[in-house]
Amino acid sequence: MHAPRVVDVVPGSPAAAAGLVVDDELVSLNGQAPRDIIQYQMLVDEPHVDLEVRRGGLLVDVSVAKAAGEPLGVEVHSALFDQVRTCDNHCEFCFIYQLPPNMRKSLYLKDDDYRLSFLYGNFTTLTRFTEADLERVVTEGLSPLNVSIHATDAEIRSEMLRNKRGGMSLRWLRALLDHGIEVHGQVVVCPGINDAAVLEDTLCTVLEAFPELHSLCVVPLGVSKHHGEARLRTHTVEEARAVVDLVEQWQQMYQQHLGRRMAYAADEYYLISGRPLPEPDAYDGFAMHEDGVGIARTFELEFTGQATEAISPASGFFAWVDGAPPEGYRAPRTTGASQGLVSIRPKATAPVAVLTGAYGAMVIEPLVDTLERDDVRVITVPNNFFGGNVSVAGLMVGEDIAKVLNEQPHGHRYLIPDVCLSKGRFLDGTSPEELPRPVEIVATDGIALREALGV
């Protein structure tokens, strides 16, 4: 286990007053060596914290006095100080197996750690969950958690996860619900595998066996051109419509028996099938916004001014915790020169182009058309890097954006959503500074786009 290492100290904070500095290793806090940021936060909430610090190879004792609950004022290097619990499933539909080679190493890490579910909103299958994990979740109130269900039929779930524990591990879902833990479920629908009758059985079993589930998102399989599985394929339009119909039928059933809709089809299903999006109140507060449920509708509300602030809800521990840098899709989107504009800014009166993925264009173009402005256009960026049916803005890469920009005129303003960046870089490792035209990085919500367009 590695001790948390200090990467930043807030000026004027209790930590700064006590003399903590960057690169200090916090060996113990009040006599305990924390395994992760969850335990760390509970320890530093105390009004008096005695730290054993490793500094330059020497152990130093540091005492911090502060108000109870007052932030220590330290940021540490990671959320987990022991080893991340990796995933021992071998799901044929796992997108990590569909990544192209030679990307940064961290992208190939498969985790199945309930702590990352609590911290970041990651999904866990519970196949590596234990009695000790349950005790900790319940005792420390680690809620909400996100669980990948995929199918409630034991044999089918084991087959999909390629793990003999796949079927039986849903007993932990029942145990979590029995102890009052809020759980959000997910079903990744693979055509010909867990759709149609299997999906209906799953929706039925959820009502019978897991009615306390807070929500259940039904999302389509993502298929890149790099997968090597014979059974994987994208949905047909008819299959997408069938999924929407089935989910909406079961929403009525859940509403009748539970007083709430519970299950929601991802926006992609409506875009693929050409069906109109549900009304805002049909999303019941957009609980699964980060899993692609209701993003299009919230963007519309934001862009049209019906929402005065970004609706996108923050979930997971990092909605409020002080201490460790958010990682993955919670990492800072832009850094350094990529904060806002890069390169030389075109004139404010220049024509504007909004660059986005194919799905994003389907949502944004009708909204831009309502402005009746001939100086604003939407440009779809085909995702040749991943290929397949990958069409979301969050997976756009610099290589594909550069190809599109090379064909665009100089002197225009080009807007790119920050969701496709992590710490200032695209998934292919390139940065906005390397693009052939100056770009503006805009927050991925309708209010930010509206402001960027001067509406």
Q: How would you class 172 by CB atoms within 10 Å of its CB: exposed for 0-12, middle for 13-18, buried for 19 or more?
A: buried
Task: Specify whether the backbone of 305 is left (phi greater than 0), alpha (psi in -120 to 50) or beta.
Answer: left
* Statement: 6-76 belongs to CATH 2.30.42.10: yes
The phi and psi torsions of 442 (rounded to 5 degrees) equal: -120, 140
Give the pLDDT confidence score for residue 358 in this predicted structure. Answer: 96
pLDDT tens-digit map of 116-126 = 999 888 999 99
Give the pLDDT confidence score for residue 181 in this predicted structure. Answer: 98
Rg (CA), the chain: 23
Pairwise CA distance, residues 42 & 74, whole Å:
14
Do 405 and 419 form a contact (C-beta atoms < 8 A)? no
- 95-319: CATH architecture: Alpha-Beta Barrel (3.20)
Tell me the sheet residues that pair with 338. Answer: none
Give the pLDDT confidence score for residue 308 in this predicted structure. Answer: 85
Give the pLDDT confidence score for residue 327 in this predicted structure. Answer: 55
Give the pLDDT confidence score for residue 84 in this predicted structure. Answer: 86
> In which residue are the tokens 């190879």 written?
57
* Residues of the chain under the 70 pLDDT cut: 1, 312-345
- A 10 A CB-CB count for 208 gives 9
Tell me the sheet residues that pair with 356. Answer: 380
Amino acid symbol at 453: L
Give the pLDDT confidence score for residue 320 in this predicted structure. Answer: 38
Q: Degrees (nearest 5) of the Cα angle 141, 144, 146?
A: 135
Q: Which ranges of 121-225 does DSSP label H, i.e. alpha helix?
A: 131-140, 154-161, 171-178, 196-209
Give the 3-state DSSP-derived string for 366-425, with helices as H, strands as E and coil as C: HHHHCCCCCCEEEEECCCCCCCCCCCCHHHCCHHHHHHHHCCCCCCCEEEEEHHHCECCE
Q: How would you class 33 by CB atoms within 10 Å of its CB: exposed for 0-12, middle for 13-18, buried for 19 or more?
A: middle
Domain boundaries, the chain: 6-76, 95-319, 332-452
Pairwise CA distance, residues 88 & 436, whole Å:
42
Pairwise CA distance, residues 17 & 23, whole Å:
16
Q: In the chain, what is the straight-line distance between the N-terminal and C-terminal CA atoms, in Å?
A: 52
- Please name which of 330, 328, 352, 340 lies closest in space to residue 433, comparing C-alpha atoms: 340
Give the pLDDT confidence score for residue 197 in this predicted structure. Answer: 98
Please tell me the pTM assigned to this model.
0.90
Give the pLDDT confidence score for residue 120 in this predicted structure. Answer: 85
Give the pLDDT confidence score for residue 383 in this predicted structure. Answer: 97
CA neighbours closer than 13 Å in the CB half-sphere of residue 23: 4
Give the pLDDT confidence score for residue 1 in this predicted structure. Answer: 65
